[in-house]
Amino acid sequence: MIDTLTCHWVPNTVDRVLVVTTHEKAEVHIDRIRRVLGCEALEALYLRGHFALSTSGRATSQAMQALTASSITFAQAAD
């Protein structure tokens, strides 16, 4: 199953990113994006304002876990 992880800037911030998957959404610091998703994600955020990663559901879940370790998860979608 393919799932998508998307990143957008949190309005009125310069260092906070909203990360959304099918099942959850969280706000993380830009440094976490750099460490987990790399330079490609940073470039997309700075140049286009958003980044999307389509991959297997398991890989998306693992990326979200890495991004939200010690961050607050705002909402979890129902299955």
Predicted confidence (pLDDT) per residue in 17-44, tens digit: 999 988 889 999 999 999 999 999 999 9
**How far is residue 51's CA from residue 43's CA, in Å, rounded to a whole number?**
9
Judge whether residue 75 has pLDDT over 60. Answer: no
**How far is residue 29's CA from residue 52's CA, in Å, rounded to a whole number?**
17
Residues 6 or more apart from 43 whose CB is under 8 A from it?
none
In this structure, what token pair is assigned to residue 36?
């987990």
pTM: 0.79
**What integer best gives the mean pLDDT of the chain?**
85
Residue 56 pLDDT level (bands cut at 50, 70, 90) = confident
Judge whether residue 46 has pLDDT over 90. Answer: yes
In this structure, what token pair is assigned to residue 51?
């980044």
Q: Starting from the edge strand earliest in sequence, which strands make up the sheet with 50-56, in order?
A: 50-56, 2-9, 16-20, 24-29, 73-76
Mean pLDDT over 44-58 rounds to 91
**How far is residue 22's CA from residue 6's CA, in Å, rounded to a whole number?**
10
